[in-house]
């Protein structure tokens, strides 16, 4: 088996295209990024930093700091348009807060603060034009999950079954992709000594129309030897597979593929268990045959190029077979020599990292990926 992996690694070439580094005019450590489209994107990070672009990243505007937020760590941001966004601060107790702007970040109002003195917000995710979810650390043995039906204006605690947390584990302070959805399937990953992915799907009573969201936790083979290891980011897509239903005329049916990345952030070059994939909506998981080049903090699916892209402190990798084989992206002629490194979060085509680092997927990389996807 080890020989097979070595052979695979030797025949997977590095791509010679990279991220184009953008000028952010900030030194904050950026952890949140959300691409709205049509040139609009928002990013957030440490020391109360929030930035916005309306021209595809050529100019990043520094937003007004939310009230009381100068020292907050804004680890996740979700945007609706060039004028409206919701940002999440992470930290113990009152340091976890939610703010919203509707005037292009000239002003912010606090819409929700952490009701648990021992808890912390971890991930913020928008799944529709109005519905949002907020994941928090376990409180009293259960992951805190909040929801908003009105674009982040009001929040309530969700009492869904299946959110019980294994002893000694937690969710990780979020990048945007940590809490994700693929169609109706939602998922989040946890770390510690039991790396797992939680998913939910509607369950309905046979005799009524009443449905509930039931979460199911399944362990993954990602690194789980320490409290600093586990699942750090998830992404997915829906594919069509041959139908097994005995119904005449139905040849294929939709299936959800999930890709999980992570590892041990205290061992960033260790890659033996840094990526895994599931072809059955998270029910079963397999380690990547050729993993990324180390710990990876974020992964995203690029539907235009039919690829998964993962980033981390020591590199960027792509997979065109749904997370089984990864190849490194390396800087080419004219690129920043470390263009592939020092990244934390993705919302394609943008990527962000420490010390105000922002990049965008270069046009020639997009073309190369698209051409390479022909199979």
pLDDT in tens, 105-131: 999 999 999 999 989 999 999 999 999
Element (H, E) at 227: none
Give residue 328's region: left, alpha or beta (phi > 0; psi -120 to 50): beta
The pLDDT of residue 178 is 75
Q: Same structural domain for residues 152 and 224? A: no
135 is a domain residue: yes
What are the pLDDT digits (tens) for 169-228? 656 554 334 789 998 899 999 987 778 999 987 655 554 455 556 899 999 999 877 888
CATH number at residue 76: 2.120.10.10
Q: Kindly state whether residues 154 and 177 are assigned to the same domain.
A: no
Which single residue is written with the structure tokens 């034009």? 129
242 and 280 belong to one structural domain: yes
User: 166 in a domain, yes or no?
Assistant: no
Closest CA to 90 of 103, 102, 77, 80: 77
Whole-number mean pLDDT of the chain? 86
Residue 371 and residue 233 share a domain: yes
Long-range contacts of 135-139 (CB under 8 A, 24+ apart): 135/171, 135/174, 135/178, 135/179, 135/188, 136/96, 136/171, 137/170, 137/171, 138/165, 138/169, 138/170
Helix (H, G, I), strand (E, B) or coil at 3: helix
Residues spanned by the domain of 292: 1-22+173-346+357-375
**Mean pLDDT, residues 261-273:** 93
Based on the domain organization, do 9 and 119 belong to the same domain?
no
Report how far residue 131's alpha carbon sits from residue 150's, in angstroms, rounded to the nearest whole number. 6
Q: Would you place residue 241 in the very low, low, confident or very high pLDDT band (cuts 50, 70, 90)?
A: low
Domain end call among 103, 126, 159: 159
Q: Are residues 154 and 180 in the same domain?
A: no
If one counts the domains in the chain, the total is: 2
User: In this structure, are 292 and 369 located in the same domain?
Assistant: yes
The structure's pTM equals 0.87
5 backbone dihedrals φ, ψ, rounded to 5°: -65, -40
The partner residues of 361 in beta bridges, in order of sequence, read 19
The reply to whether 78 falls in a domain is yes
Bridge partners (DSSP) listed for residue 100: 86, 109
- Confidence class for position 332, pLDDT limits 50, 70, 90: confident
Quick one: 113 and 205 in the same domain?
no
Last residue of a domain, one of 159, 181, 198: 159
Last residue of a domain, one of 136, 159, 182: 159
Q: Is residue 311 part of a domain?
A: yes
């Amino acid at each position: 088996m080890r020989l097979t992996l070595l052979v695979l690694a030797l025949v997977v070439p590095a791509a010679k295209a990279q991220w184009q580094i953008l000028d952010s005019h900030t030194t904050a450590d950026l952890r949140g990024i959300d691409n709205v489209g049509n040139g609009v994107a928002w990013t957030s990070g440490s020391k109360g930093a929030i930035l916005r672009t309306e021209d595809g990243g050529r100019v990043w505007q520094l937003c007004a700091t939310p009230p009381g937020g100068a020292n907050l760590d804004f680890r996740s941001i979700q945007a609706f348009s060039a004028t409206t966004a919701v940002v999440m601060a992470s930290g113990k107790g009152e340091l976890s807060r939610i703010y919203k702007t509707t005037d292009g970040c000239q002003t912010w109002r606090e819409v929700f603060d952490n009701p648990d003195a021992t808890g912390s917000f971890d991930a913020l995710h928008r799944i529709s034009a109005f519905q949002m979810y907020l994941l928090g650390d376990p409180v009293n043995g259960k992951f805190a999950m909040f929801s908003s039906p009105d674009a982040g204006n009001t929040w309530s605690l969700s009492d869904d079954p299946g959110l019980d947390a294994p002893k000694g584990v937690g969710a990780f302070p979020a990048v945007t992709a940590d809490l994700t959805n693929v169609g109706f399937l939602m998922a989040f990953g946890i770390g510690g000594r039991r790396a797992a992915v939680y998913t939910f799907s509607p369950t309905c009573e046979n005799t009524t129309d009443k449905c509930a969201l039931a979460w199911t936790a399944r362990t993954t083979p990602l690194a789980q030897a320490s409290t600093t290891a586990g699942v750090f980011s998830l992404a997915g897509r829906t594919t069509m597979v041959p139908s097994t239903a005995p119904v005449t005329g139905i040849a294929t049916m939709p299936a959800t593929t999930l890709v999980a990345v992570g590892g041990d952030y205290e061992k960033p070059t260790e890659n033996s268990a840094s990526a895994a994939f599931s072809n059955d909506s998270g029910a079963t998981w397999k380690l990547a045959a050729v993993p990324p080049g180390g710990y990876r903090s974020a992964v995203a699916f690029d539907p235009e190029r039919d690829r998964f892209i993962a980033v981390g402190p020591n590199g960027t990798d792509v997979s065109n077979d749904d997370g089984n084989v990864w190849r490194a992206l390396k800087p080419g002629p004219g690129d920043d020599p470390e263009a592939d490194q020092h990244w934390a979060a993705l919302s394609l085509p943008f990527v962000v990292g420490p010390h105000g680092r922002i990049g965008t997927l270069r046009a020639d990389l997009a073309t190369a990926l698209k051409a390479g996807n022909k199979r």
